């Protein structure tokens, strides 16, 4: 079986930049790698992603949002993640279930118990070997989103307190599972961030 790595963090945390670095670093180590994302990763998942992220005039019920996330995830696991791991490849995913606990749990206020029940049913024991949590102040992340000037999606339109709840939920989960979830100080220089990543990845490669 291969290794499963996930990347998490609030908007503007620099995940895309560092995902590209991780992809190249592992390729340089001759590690076969499948790179994917959530929501998405499959044809059906990408269609669900568009439903979830496209700003719309009418709101979406929080339970609908939660179930759509897990519908996309179920397809993602069966079509992409499990087959790649079984082939012995490593999988690198931009977001996974921790994002649901943070966004739909912390952000939207859905009970952690409800999310856990659906997660247990959907994941069937699948868990990342390593989760990299890119952490930085909410205001810094949202400012970066504005600077990108790419238009904001349905989540990025939310207020600061929404993202503060997400950040706190992420940090709580990292504290509860420090062996799997490694906190990366994303408010440092790119060089310093990549030094942190290199140390963590080298440790995983050694096992």
Using alpha carbons only, give the angle 180, 39, 45 rounded to the nearest 5 degrees.
130
Asked if 174 contacts 192 with a C-beta cutoff of 8 angstroms, the reply is: no
Q: Average pLDDT, whole number, for the chain?
A: 93
Give the pLDDT mean for 133-139: 93
Domains of the chain: 4-205 (3.40.50.300)
- Which pTM was predicted? 0.93
pLDDT in tens, 37-80: 999 999 999 999 999 998 874 679 999 999 999 999 999 999 99
β-bridge pairing 33-37 and 4-9: unpaired
CA dist 53 and 154 (Å) reads 5
**Percent of the chain with pLDDT strictly greater than 70:** 96
pLDDT tens digit sequence for 163-189 = 999 999 999 999 999 999 999 999 999
Helix then strand then coil, % of the chain, to nearest 5: 55, 15, 30
């Amino acid at each position: 079986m291969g290794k499963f790595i996930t990347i998490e963090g609030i908007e503007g945390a620099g995940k895309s930049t560092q995902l590209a670095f991780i992809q190249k670093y592992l390729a340089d180590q001759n590690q076969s790698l499948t790179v994917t994302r959530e929501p998405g990763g499959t044809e059906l998942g990408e269609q669900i992603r568009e439903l979830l992220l496209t700003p719309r005039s009418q709101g979406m019920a929080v339970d609908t949002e939660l179930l759509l996330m897990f519908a996309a995830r179920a397809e993602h696991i069966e079509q992409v993640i499990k087959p790649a791991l079984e082939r012995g490849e490593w999988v690198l995913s931009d977001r996974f279930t921790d994002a649901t606990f943070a966004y739909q749990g912390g952000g939207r206020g859905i009970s952690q118990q409800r999310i856990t029940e659906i997660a247990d049913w959907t994941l069937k024991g699948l868990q990342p070997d390593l989760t990299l949590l890119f952490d930085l102040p909410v205001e810094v992340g949202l400012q970066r989103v504005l600077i990108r000037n790419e238009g904001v999606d349905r989540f990025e339109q939310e207020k600061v307190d929404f993202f503060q709840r997400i950040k706190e939920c992420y940090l709580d989960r990292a504290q509860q599972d420090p062996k799997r979830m490694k906190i990366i100080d994303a408010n440092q220089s790119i060089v310093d961030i990549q030094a942190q990543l290199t140390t963590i990845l080298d440790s995983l490669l050694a096992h």
